[in-house]
Amino acid sequence: MNTDRLINTYIDTLSIRCVCDGRYQRDNLFNTLIVFLKERNIVGIIYNKERSTKYYQITELLFGNTKLATIAKGYYTNDYNIDYYYINISFYGLKRYNNKKDEASLLLVRTITAFLNTYNIDFRLTELDIAMDMKSKIDNLLVVCTSRSPNVKYYQLGDIDDDGKNIQANKGTYYIENFKSFKQKKNAMSRAYLYDKRLKERSKYNRDIGFDLTRFEVKLQKRYFVKNKFGVIPIYKSLNKYTVLHFMDIKQKELLIQQLNNAKTSRTRRNMIEAALSSDKAILLTRKMNNIGSFLREIDTIKFDTKENFIYTKHEHYLECMSKLNRNHQT
Contact 44, 61 (CB under 8 A): yes
Q: How far does CA 196 lie from the centroid of its chain?
A: 16
pTM score of the predicted model? 0.92
Write out pLDDT tens, residues 67-116: 999 999 999 988 778 899 999 999 999 999 999 999 999 999 999 999 99
**Per-position pLDDT tens, the chain of length 331:** 455 799 999 999 999 999 999 999 999 999 999 999 999 999 999 999 999 999 999 999 999 999 999 999 999 988 778 899 999 999 999 999 999 999 999 999 999 999 999 999 999 999 999 999 999 999 999 999 999 988 899 999 999 877 778 888 888 899 999 998 989 999 999 999 999 999 999 998 899 999 999 999 999 999 999 888 788 888 999 999 999 999 999 999 999 999 999 999 999 999 999 999 999 999 999 999 889 989 999 999 999 999 999 999 888 888 776 777 775 554 5
Listed by start position, the domains of the chain span 4-303
Amino acid at 255: L
Question: What phi and psi values does residue 14 have, to the nearest 5 degrees?
Answer: -135, 130
CA–CA dist 14, 87 (Å, integer): 14
DSSP code for 207: -
Predicted confidence at residue 93, as pLDDT, reads 94
Question: What phi and psi values does residue 34 have, to the nearest 5 degrees?
Answer: -65, -45
Contact 20, 29 (CB under 8 A): yes
Predicted confidence at residue 108, as pLDDT, reads 98
CA–CA dist 52, 56 (Å, integer): 6
Residues whose CB is less than 8 angstroms from the CB of residue 137 and which lie 6 or more positions away in sequence, other chains included: 196, 212, 214
CA–CA dist 86, 31 (Å, integer): 13
